[in-house]
Amino acid sequence: MMGRAGIWLVLLMLVALAAPAPPVGGVEVNPPLPTAPLVIAGRVTLTVELARKPEEHIRGLSGRPGLKPGHGMLFVYDRSQPVSIWMKDMRFPLDIVWIRDGRIVKIEKHAPPLTPTRPERIYTAMADLVLEVPAGFTDRKRIRVGNTVQATLP
């Protein structure tokens, strides 16, 4: 027969085994999402991961080491609404592009990751799509407010 201490030990082991895996580097693992092509101003083509669900919107690119060249993440909403982006658990700076009715309405350039020494910032605009790309991408590709955006959404 097992004593009281033995029972507690077994219970603790069961709880430890049932617990989710610890985060990697302090951030949960963030798997890639399905992708689609996106064209800006008829001349800049990207492959974008599609964040459609609320939990995908919240997770975004958190914890990722970066994006491959020519890649981004597109946050898809069912209607135009105020969309706020914050840089929690980000590891690299972004250009954030708000899109409404197929046109760019706002660009936030070089949004830095959130750190303990930097004040928290939340970036907001009305949009039905929001595109996140590596910082500097919009300048390098000469992307501007008013440019058209065509997304092929499956």
Domains, the chain, ranges and CATH? 4-151 (2.60.120.1140)
Q: Give the burial string for 65-101 (b: 16+ CB within 10 Å, else e).
A: eebeeebbbbbbeeeeeebebebebbeeebbbbbbbe
Residue 10 has pLDDT above 50, yes or no: no
Please report the pLDDT score of residue 3 as a whole number. 56
Residue 78 has pLDDT above 90, yes or no: yes
Residue 148 has pLDDT above 60, yes or no: yes
Please report the pLDDT score of residue 13 as a whole number. 37
Q: How confident is the model at residue 5 (pLDDT cuts 50, 70, 90)?
A: very low
Please report the pLDDT score of residue 88 as a whole number. 86
Specify whether the CB–CB gap between 132 and 85 falls below 8 A. yes
- pLDDT (tens digit per residue) in 107-119: 999 999 988 888 8
Q: How confident is the model at residue 9 (pLDDT cuts 50, 70, 90)?
A: very low
- pLDDT (tens digit per residue) in 19-77: 334 444 544 478 999 999 999 999 999 999 999 999 999 999 999 999 999 999 999 99
Specify whether the CB–CB gap between 66 and 134 falls below 8 A. yes
Residue 132 has pLDDT above 90, yes or no: yes
Joined tokens for residue 134? 């590596």
Instruction: Please report, for residues 10, 108, 150, the alpha-carbon distance to residue 75 in angstroms, rounded to integers and kept in the order given.
Output: 44, 15, 14
- Residue 92 backbone phi and psi in degrees, to 5: -150, 155
